[in-house]
Amino acid sequence: MRHYRCVDALLLSGIAGLLGAIENSYDIVHLFSPLAPGGLLMDTGGMTLIGSELIERCCERDVKLLWIANENKAEDYVKGFRVAGKPLNLILTISRNGTRFTGFLDKLLSRIASGETLPVAWAALVPQANGPWQQDLPGCIFFAGRAGAKVLP
């Protein structure tokens, strides 16, 4: 909320609520949700949504970044979140690394709110070489399907 003027924080009752909220055409969808095996989102009523369908809905509504912030297994992301060829930046969290996640999120959003594209901001914060800085980062999978998109405040 510190980086963007228009932020909606929603506690959704289920999959239908999530899909309805995405219809509002947000630039960023930051979702905290555990996955069922195979990359399925599942609500308390038993309704399921495979990650690929969530990606498709986000693309249809011009979402620029979908971030699943809950810790989930990499294999579930690989099975359920097919993103190849889709115009969407996608971050999938494997390990939040404790309290370090919020600091990383703040730094990343600060950079993109100031006009950097997500891949540039990501590369600055997550160097692709081994080093001691990696212990301060969450474990995430990043897909840059909209490399040039900017999400300004």
Give the residues of the chain that fall short of pLDDT 70.
Answer: 1, 133
Q: Is residue 150 part of a domain?
A: no
Each residue's pLDDT tens digit, 119-145: 999 999 998 777 776 778 999 999 999
Q: Is residue 121 part of a domain?
A: yes
Q: Is residue 10 part of a domain?
A: no
What total number of domains does the chain contain? 1
Q: Is residue 3 part of a domain?
A: no
Alpha carbons 105 and 94: distance in angstroms, whole number: 14
Which range marks the domain in which residue 139 is found?
15-144
Q: How far apart are the first and last CA of the chain?
A: 10
Q: Is residue 153 part of a domain?
A: no
User: CB atoms < 10 A from the CB of 20, how many?
Assistant: 12
Q: Is residue 1 part of a domain?
A: no
